[in-house]
Amino acid sequence: MRAPARMGHVVASLLAAFFLVAGLCGAMCEVAVAVCVENCDPCLSQCKCHHTCEHSLLDSRTSHRLGSYRLLIVDEPDGGVVRQIVEISGLSLDLADGPRAHAAPDFERFAEGVIETNGLLLQSRARKWEPGMTQVIGESVVVPFQSGSSEASLTFLFDRRGNLIEIDEVRPGSGFTGLPR
């Protein structure tokens, strides 16, 4: 019988101490836990909850492989063909090289890696792409390539953050003038 009485005394003492502390503080203390939940990868974009890239950079084959895109093919009146690869998702310099400021050689090197990794889609057997001068136009970066015989062109369009937006390939027909439209 003595154990339950002693236990009751301990519980009463704890409750009294709690109310005494709460009274001295002037109010009851509340504990709030804020949970931040979002579907965001800090390695690819700016996130509100998490800012540290937890996983390492992808290998070069994975970081340059076209996985999700839409291919548009347009026949030109002169017999040429324009192929556009649009709605590209998941390819960026940040994913390949890590988040940092990217210079023109970084864009060119990344585009060359995309050509090499996606050879069946971007490289014909008889064509070798030679890089042209990388241009920064507003918020976009354009990396042009010409075939060795200067008949065809391949152009990569990036946003300034390094995300690949579009790839255009022009295969000229018999009436090719070499001038952009």
Burial 90-117 (b: 16+ CB within 10 A, else e): bbbbbbbeebeebeeebbbbbbbbbbeb
Alpha-helical (H) ranges within 52-138 are 60-64, 93-97, 104-117, 119-122
> Where are the chain's structural domains?
1-27, 60-171
- Say if residues 145 and 111 touch (Cβ distance below 8 Å): yes
Long-range contacts of 80-83 (CB under 8 A, 24+ apart): 80/170, 80/171, 80/172, 80/173, 80/175, 80/176, 81/170, 81/171, 81/173, 82/168, 82/169, 82/170, 82/171, 83/168, 83/169, 83/171
- Say if residues 126 and 173 touch (Cβ distance below 8 Å): no
Q: How many CB atoms lie within 10 A of CB 152?
A: 19
Instruction: Give the pLDDT confidence score for residue 56 in this predicted structure.
Output: 46
Instruction: Give the pLDDT confidence score for residue 147 in this predicted structure.
Output: 86
pTM check: above 0.75 = no
**pLDDT tens per residue, the chain (181 residues)?**
456 666 667 767 766 666 656 655 555 445 445 567 777 665 555 566 765 555 445 566 678 899 889 999 999 898 889 999 999 988 999 888 888 889 999 999 999 999 999 988 887 656 688 999 999 999 999 999 998 766 889 999 999 989 999 999 998 876 545 444 4
Instruction: Give the pLDDT confidence score for residue 128 in this predicted structure.
Output: 82
Rounded Cα distance, 59 and 150, in Å:
32
Instruction: Give the pLDDT confidence score for residue 179 in this predicted structure.
Output: 47
Instruction: Give the pLDDT confidence score for residue 20 in this predicted structure.
Output: 56
What stretch of H or E contains 85? strand 81-89
